[in-house]
Structure 1
């Protein structure tokens, strides 16, 4: 009987999309007592799932313990503004060993010129950055350039760094 392998990237997205409605509907205790008329349509739009992803070139995970820069750009060629979110995936080798968030430090260059640590979550051997905190509106015909720095803290580590852009409706 043939077997089918589901890529971890697809599995992470499927699990994230399955959990998203539960997370979006779970409100803080004080908000739960608010009347339905007070609910904002923009609140549900803020938690909407992406409609697709734009994959950027992959690179091997550096094997030393030195910080390595990752820079990528995405241009909105659409005639309208788009809500997008940059995301970094770090894929473990298919057969393991699987990476843990404590194995890697990921930092993003902020508008203040300083490096800020970006938290990583883990699912089925894939480390990933959150989408909702990264959401921005990219104006028509503008380009987003993101600068990250990745450091492997526990060598030896193997994997692939896969930046992508989540695109929302």
Structure 2
């Protein structure tokens, strides 16, 4: 394991949220936001309205900037996110999870909780100098993000579809 479970979970959720903006956009309905919320184990309150969906969608660009920044810029962005949202880290247990960090009130808006949890995860990434585990997809036709949690740092594509597309193109180029 490279990072603590809550760090990995927050990074995976952030990458999934950022990648939801890639065509076709997969975060356009309340049902898609509900599925994201459940899939990534978020806790706390929800409003289930269009404003919440819009706020979460608006987080995609700032999170992309954070996850693709160099170390110094990522540190500055992380500090800004935590300060703007008055993050106060606390150890909590809930829903079968042992102690882990939360830094916002469970009643805070979902977009703020996503931003703070991602920033808290980036604290670990920056301190461990592991930003190389975050990259843009190796498929030149895709701008998706890749979170490489493998031991040998071999992950290059955001999805199997991108990896397959590149492999098929290389095969066809060799046969031509």
* TM-score range for the pair, normalised by the shorter chain length: under 0.3
- Higher strand residue share: 1
* Pair member with larger Rg: 1
Instruction: State the TM-score, normalizing by the size of structure 2.
Output: 0.25
Relative CO higher for 1 or 2, CA cutoff 8 Å, sep ≥ 6?
1
- Higher helix residue share: 2
Instruction: State the TM-score, normalizing by the size of structure 1.
Output: 0.26
